């Protein structure tokens, strides 16, 4: 299966991805994580992306399509893709379809993480992340076992540079203007499943499970 997770910043895509990945044996490709990796390694691409990400705008379609194209061809991605944070524009959505088409593949399901805008600020401000793995925690809603430390590696957690009220506003505008229009693209293909992502983490997980295994 190839599955896409779409939702505004802080809607829970990265929180739910590891379980879906494990259940279906998919390859989790999160363009935000890939870009943050490039930034922390100081690559040329990372240098280009850093400023754009820090101010909450979308990086160019060309850059993210290049990242996905390269990752899709890795052997670990043979079994299926779990796309998190990609596609985010109409150009990306169409390009993804044509890349898959050339491999005789297609997108099977798109899960929309639906939340009201006003709950996102608390999620974003309380988030702490383990950069190397992309795992995210929340000081109140999903705290690590030991404060400030990743459960699996014992390494420190940090706050993302774009996780503040001002940049969040920009990221939400980008979502509403550029990303949410592609929901219709998938609705018209009859593969869009809407999840109430305002529920508690385990209830969101349950809804995802249902939409993946039962054909609702």
**Using CB distances below 5 to 8 A depending on partner kind, what does residue 29 bind out of ligand AP5, Zn ion, none?**
none
> Facing residues of 84 across strands?
5, 30
Question: Is 128 among the catalytic positions?
Answer: no
- Among the listed residues 36, 50, 123, 127, the single catalytic one is 127
DSSP 7: -
* Nearest C-alpha neighbor of 38 from the set 60, 67, 71, 9: 67
Part in contact with Zn ion (CB under 5 A); list of ranges 9-17, 19-27, 137-145, 168-176? 9-17
Q: How many residues does the chain have?
A: 216
Residue 56 interacts with Zn ion (CB under 5 A): yes or no: no
Euclidean distance between CA atoms 49 and 33, whole angstroms: 12
**Using CB distances below 5 to 8 A depending on partner kind, what does residue 150 bind out of ligand AP5, Zn ion, none?**
none
Residue 10 interacts with Zn ion (CB under 5 A): yes or no: no
**Using CB distances below 5 to 8 A depending on partner kind, what does residue 186 bind out of ligand AP5, Zn ion, none?**
none
**Using CB distances below 5 to 8 A depending on partner kind, what does residue 31 bind out of Zn ion, ligand AP5, none?**
ligand AP5
Question: Is 88 among the catalytic positions?
Answer: yes
CB of 127 to ligand AP5, least distance (A): 3
- The count of other CB atoms within 10 Å of the CB of residue 85 is 22
5, 8, 9, 14 alpha-carbon torsion, rounded to 10°: -20
Q: Are 38 and 45 in contact (CB under 8 A)?
A: yes
CA dihedral for 16, 135, 125, 38, sign (positive or negative): negative
**Using CB distances below 5 to 8 A depending on partner kind, what does residue 82 bind out of ligand AP5, Zn ion, none?**
none
Question: Is 36 among the catalytic positions?
Answer: no
* Nearest C-alpha neighbor of 197 from the set 111, 96, 79: 111
Q: Which is nearer to Zn ion, 5 or 63 (CB)?
A: 5
Q: Let me know the angle formed at the C-alpha of 151 by 53 and 114, rounded to the nearest 5 degrees.
A: 50
Interacting residue ranges for ligand AP5, rule: CB under 6 A: 7, 9-15, 31-32, 35, 52-53, 56-59, 64, 85-86, 88, 92, 123, 126-127, 136-138, 141-142, 162, 171, 200-201, 204
Q: What tokens does 132 get? A: 């190397």
Q: Which of residues 13-42 bind Zn ion (CB under 5 A)?
A: 14
* Active site (catalytic) residues: 13, 88, 127, 160, 171
Give the interface with Zn ion as residue ranges (CB under 5 A). Answer: 14
């Amino acid at each position: 299966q190839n599955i896409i997770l779409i939702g505004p910043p802080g809607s829970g895509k990265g929180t739910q991805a590891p379980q879906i990945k494990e259940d279906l044996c998919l390859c989790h490709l999160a363009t935000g994580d890939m870009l943050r990796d490039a930034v922390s390694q100081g690559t040329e691409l990372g240098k280009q992306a850093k400023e754009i990400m820090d101010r909450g705008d979308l990086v160019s379609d060309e850059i993210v399509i290049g990242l996905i194209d390269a990752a899709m061809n890795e052997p670990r991605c043979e079994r299926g893709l779990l796309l998190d944070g990609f596609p985010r524009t109409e150009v990306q959505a169409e390009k993804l379809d044509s890349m898959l088409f050339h491999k005789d593949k297609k997108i099977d399901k798109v899960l929309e993480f639906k939340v009201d805008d006003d709950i996102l600020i608390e999620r974003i401000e309380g988030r702490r992340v383990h950069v190397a793995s992309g795992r995210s925690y929340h000081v109140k809603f999903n705290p690590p076992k030991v404060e400030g430390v990743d459960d699996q590696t014992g390494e420190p957690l940090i706050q993302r540079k774009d996780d503040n009220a001002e940049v969040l506003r920009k990221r939400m505008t980008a979502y509403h203007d550029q990303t949410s229009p592609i929901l219709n693209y998938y609705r018209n293909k009859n593969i869009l499943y809407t999840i109430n992502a305002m529920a508690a983490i385990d209830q969101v997980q349950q809804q995802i499970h249902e939409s993946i295994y039962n054909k609702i």
